[in-house]
Homo-oligomer: A and B are copies of this chain.
Amino acid sequence: MSKLLDNVTAELQRLPGIGRRTALRLAMHILKMESDTVDSLAAAIAHFRHDIRYCRSCNNLSDSDICPICSDTRRDRSTICVVEQVGDLLSIENTSQYHGLYHVLGGVISPMQGIGPSDLKIDLLCDKLLTGDIKEVIIAISTSVEGETTLFYLLNRLKAFPEVKVSTIARGIGFGDELEYVDELTITHALINRRELKP
């Protein structure tokens, strides 16, 4: 078999959800694509991996030091929505119902995977609260065991800021569902029905 074909199918199989047959199907499709289009695809993948940065303020993916959301002066700078990962942020943005800022933790506390609080951007969040500009923190974390652990850890840390209102998005989202894949309507309702917590 062709080494080039072997190579491209092996490399494509490194991606999640892509097995041998799907890799082969993608390779055959790549053959039919315009040469320039394939170059754009390959370049986009490499550039994304090399040049992407993390917002110094909220840990969102960004092309520069500060992400477009944090630098958007029209957004409500008194509210921060805390999410696990960038995919969750994008899902909330798609609802067009939230106009505050975000904070991307970069994961949840998971002793099984060796992820502790210090691996998440929690100190960065507390630093922002120290400025006194933040009135509310909305916690939008998955309702998994790890998510609940992270929620309780966060609540404990946020006790240091009694003047900040803390809420979680409503539990309209099924237990075990991944927030990233929930439909916009459910996310909208969960945002509207957020309940205040007394830390």
Contact = CB atoms under 8 A, between A and B. Distances in A.
Interface of A: 1-5, 7-8, 10-12, 14-17, 21-22, 24-31, 33, 35, 37-52, 60-63, 67-68, 85-87, 90, 93, 180-181
Contact of A48 (B1, B5, B25, B46): B5
B8 A45 contact: yes
- Copies of this chain, complex-wide, total 2
Given A26-B15, A29-B16, A50-B35, A44 B86 contact: no
A46 B51 contact: no
Contacts of A3: 63
Nearest to A181: B21
A4 B46 contact: no
